[in-house]
Amino acid sequence: MSLTDKQSDYILVIEPKTKLLDLNLKEVWRYRDLLLLFVRRDFVSVYKQTIFGPLWFFIQPILTTIMFMVVFGGIAKMSTDGLPQAVFYLSGIVIWNYFSGALSLTSNTFIGNAGIFGKVYFPRIITPLSIVISKLLGFGVQFVLFLGVFFYYLCFSDAILKPNAALLLVPVLIIITAGLAFGLGLIISSLTTKYRDFTFLLGFAIQLAMYGTPVIYPLSEIDNPKLKLVIQANPVSAIIETFRYAFTGVGELNWLWLGYSVGFMIVVIILGILIFNKIEKTFMDTV
């Protein structure tokens, strides 16, 4: 008995992955509605049932910037390379918030969604993808805040800000940041299915890593060559420095280190997909 073409449209054959690097983008596209639903869920649920709601997207970076201005700019007297403190700190905060937020949530993919994964089938890679995209929307809101502060100092102050052609690299910098958070998140989420220690270490590691990036200090102020090399080895450092340089003309646009960030991103994405696809087959036995 043969099926008609109309009947065959409703048949879905679920087969195990045979290749560790198989992303099955065709299947991800087929489930694009679910991806958009997850993006909406992740974006809306963050500040649901809060008094200020979406205003927290603005409040959080504003409070962080003020704290940095008081502690690091006022008390510690740390240099901002001649830039207004608000512009300097906010230019690092918006990038770092996107990276750390996307990494933190992506790293919880298996454990946080075990209930859904155990009941219904869909491409599991959709979940971390939705987190990276939803956090990108949050970044967009905070980026608008940064632009408002930047144009205020550009137009209504004596601050010397020199936006330049490197602004064309901003979309590339955002893609690199998203790729780093996605790849590292896949690796850590896969490891946490067996080793829950990573769940506790991640928050501490992200906090510590922020001090290893030029968020609160300019890279030019690091005199120790070995220490500077360690900070540059952090792939997010070149992204923040280039982002700051693009808008202000102050900072460092180093093509070598920016290329290193791109290479690092490619490696962690490939490694993340390999580990994610391998763990996906058996993680329900260990979660």
The ranges assigned to domains in the chain are 31-285
Q: 36-50, 179-193, 217-231: which range is least confident on average?
A: 36-50
* pTM of the complete model: 0.87
Output the CA–CA distances (angstroms, integers) from residue 159 to 82, 142, 244, in the order listed. 8, 22, 15
Residue with tokens 């489930």: 31
DSSP-H helix ranges across the chain:
5-8, 25-30, 32-45, 56-68, 85-106, 109-112, 114-117, 126-156, 170-192, 197-210, 225-232, 235-248, 255-280
Q: Is the pLDDT of residue 244 over 70?
A: yes
Q: Is the pLDDT of residue 57 over 60?
A: yes
Of the pLDDT bands very low, low, confident and very high (cuts 50, 70, 90), residue 51 is low
Closest Cα partner for 236 from 98, 139, 133, 113? 98
Of the pLDDT bands very low, low, confident and very high (cuts 50, 70, 90), residue 1 is very low
Give me the mean pLDDT over the 87-107 stretch.
Answer: 93
Query: Under a CB-based contact definition with an 8 Å cutoff, are residues 181 and 131 in contact?
Result: no
Q: Is the pLDDT of residue 18 over 80?
A: no
Q: 2-16, 30-44, 70-84, 226-240: which range is least confident on average?
A: 2-16
Q: Is the pLDDT of residue 189 over 70?
A: yes
To the nearest whole number, what is the mean pLDDT of the chain? 84
**What is the CB-side half-sphere exposure of residue 17 using CA atoms within 13 A?**
22
Q: How far apart are CA 229 and CA 226, in angstroms?
A: 5
Give me the mean pLDDT over the 260-277 stretch.
Answer: 92
